[in-house]
Amino acid sequence: MDVRDPIEADADRLAEFTGQPADVMRNLVHDRTVRVAVDTDSADGDGDERVLGFVSYDAQNGAVHITQFEGTLGACEQLLEEPLRFARGEEMAVELFLAENEDEKRDLVEAASFRNEGRGPSFDGMPTVRYRHEPTRVEQ
């Protein structure tokens, strides 16, 4: 598995993960920091790779906010490192919301030292839990 920047052609696959229209995901690729995990073993003769997951995030108000985080569990585990790496360099906290029923992702973020901060907002009627990862100082 490899992690790379997305290309516009990935929008259809990202839409499959989220249930959002491909146009919305195309805008996401252009408007946010997005990283995709791809199965490099599945590349076809044209070099097209199968997208296994993606993470999108932005930085504002002193924190990195993970806005979407979807895909296979293995891909999500690898992709979670992307906003964490960025946040470490900037000495910023990382925040994300998970639907209450996302047990596997909850285990993954808690294993990455995210702290449960309690209830978050509801999205499409689904209650969420807010998670926060505090920055660690970068030694020089």
Note the pTM of the prediction, 2 decimals: 0.76
52, part of any domain: yes
Query: SS3 of 137, please?
Result: coil
23, part of any domain: yes
Whether the predicted pLDDT of 46 surpasses 70: no
119, part of any domain: yes
Q: What is the pLDDT of residues 69-87, one digit of tens each?
A: 999 999 999 999 999 988 8
Q: What is the pLDDT of residues 2-21, one digit of tens each?
A: 788 777 788 888 889 888 88
Torsion angles phi and psi, residue 94, rounded to 5: -120, 135
- The number of distinct structural domains making up the chain is 1
72, part of any domain: yes
Least Cα distance to 38 among 18, 20, 59, 54 occurs for 54
Least Cα distance to 2 among 30, 32, 41 occurs for 41
12, part of any domain: yes
* Domain carrying residue 100: 2-133
**Angle 22-31/11-18 helices, nearest 10 degrees?**
110
Residue 43 pLDDT class (50, 70, 90 cuts):
low
138, part of any domain: no
Interatomic CA distance for residues 39 and 138, integer angstroms = 32
Burial of 106 (0-12, 13-18, 19+ CB in 10 A): middle
62, part of any domain: yes
139, part of any domain: no
The CATH number given to whatever domain includes residue 82 is 3.40.630.30
